[in-house]
Amino acid sequence: MGIRETTYYEGGPHIGDLIVNILLGFTVIFLPLTIGAIVRAIWLRYKITDRRISVTGGWMGKDRTDIVYGEVAKMIKMPRGIGIWGDIVVTLNDRSRLELRAMPNFREVYDYMAERVADKTGRPLEAITQK
């Protein structure tokens, strides 16, 4: 019997990130960004639950990072793609960072995660989300 958790979001990065980077890839300057977007689209997966944040990625999707909301010190969101998708940077108590790149519905996911962090840590929401 494992611990039950409710999944809020499970999936990969936004498809718009891949499309924009492929279009930019026709120029030689943006080719490295295009390759990065293709690798993210193939192997990067996010799972946001009511207990943890899990990111599976790396070469062939072999790396996995799990963090619980109690370890989070600060969160920042940055819109990309005309605000359709965005990045979320989660700073942990030991000052290490976890980047969630090209997150679909990043505003809703950010708000969900910030509420869970506030519940687990007992800190006010403004202290977690303040830039």
Alpha helices in 25-124 (DSSP H): 31-43, 106-121
Query: What are the tokens at 116?
Result: 């869970």
The pLDDT of residue 28: 84
pLDDT in tens, the chain (131 residues): 577 889 999 999 999 889 988 898 888 888 888 988 898 899 999 999 999 999 998 888 789 999 999 999 999 999 988 888 999 999 999 999 999 999 999 999 999 999 999 999 888 888 888 65
Amino acid at 94: D
Whether the Cβ atoms of residue 66 and residue 54 lie closer than 8 Å to each other? yes
Whether the Cβ atoms of residue 48 and residue 8 lie closer than 8 Å to each other? yes
The pLDDT of residue 130: 67
Q: What is the dihedral of CA 35, 41, 43, 47, to 10 degrees?
A: 140
Measure the CA angle with vertex 49, ends 46 and 51; round to 5°: 125
The pLDDT of residue 123: 87
Residue with tokens 């108590």: 93
The pLDDT of residue 83: 85
